[in-house]
Amino acid sequence: DAKTTQPTSMDCAEGRAANLPCNHSTISGNEYVYWYRQIHSQGPQYIIHGLKNNETNEMASLIITEDRKSSTLILPHATLRDTAVYYCIASQAAGNKLTFGGGTRVLVKP
Amino acid sequence: NAGVTQTPKFQVLKTGQSMTLQCAQDMNHNSMYWYRQDPGMGLRLIYYSASEGTTDKGEVPNGYNVSRLNKREFSLRLESAAPSQTSVYFCASRGTGTAINQPQHFGDGTRLSIL
């Protein structure tokens, strides 16, 4: 799996959009970008994933650059319950493991 | 709508004791995984089972054994627990049907302390 690089931490204001960047400059053509989050030591929660097109679901949007070397997870209206560690992972679709790095610790403030 | 269920949620062991962590999923997923997470760190893969009847080592398999009992259940066994195995253990499962990019879904973890 390609290595990903994320900021260690970031704050955002409640009700505002949270934009979480991720670099994956060595990503290969068959690797997807997955985003998970972990709230207070619970099990990781799947958020969204994509290959090259932008994706949106009920939780978030994923913007992948055209060269696929970086991506941004967007939480459109952050709430206090979105405070968590967010992990960006590049993994082959048929791969059998996810490599979790340190993630970004997001603190949503009132 | 249980998803991935892990038992027990908490356990304290003495060094040298053995125990089995249980995991069951009700999503008819083919693949199952065991990870461990040490304080302040990301998850590391211990073992996985791509399908019923197969198991493979992950990144940190030493000191562990696994059994894929059937499609639903995947257990992790510590034969002789060591303090270094104090960690939170997560089980996950993944469907591998027509869409090959299915995400993994995680249980809530087993918090294991070894004295």
Q: Across chain A, what does the average pLDDT equal? A: 92
Chain A residues with CB under 8 Å of B112 CB are none
Chain A residues with CB under 8 Å of B90 CB are 43-44
CA distance B46 to B17: 19
- CA-based nearest distance A56→chain B, Å: 15
Q: Across chain B, what does the average pLDDT equal? A: 92
Of B42, B43, B101, the CB nearest to A93: B101
Residues A73-91: tens digit of each pLDDT: 999 999 999 999 999 999 8
Is the CB of B106 less than 8 angstroms away from the CB of A43? yes
Residues 6+ apart with CB under 8 A from A58: none
- The single-letter DSSP state of residue B28 is -
CA distance B76 to B35: 10
**Strand-strand pairing, A104-109 and A9-13:** parallel
Of B31, B35, B42, the CB nearest to A96: B31
Chain B residues with CB under 8 Å of A34 CB are 103
Q: Using 70 as the pLDDT threshold, list the residues of chain B that sit under it.
A: 1, 97-100
CA distance B104 to B29: 10
Residues B17-29: tens digit of each pLDDT: 999 999 999 999 9
A32 CB near a chain B CB, below 8 Å? yes
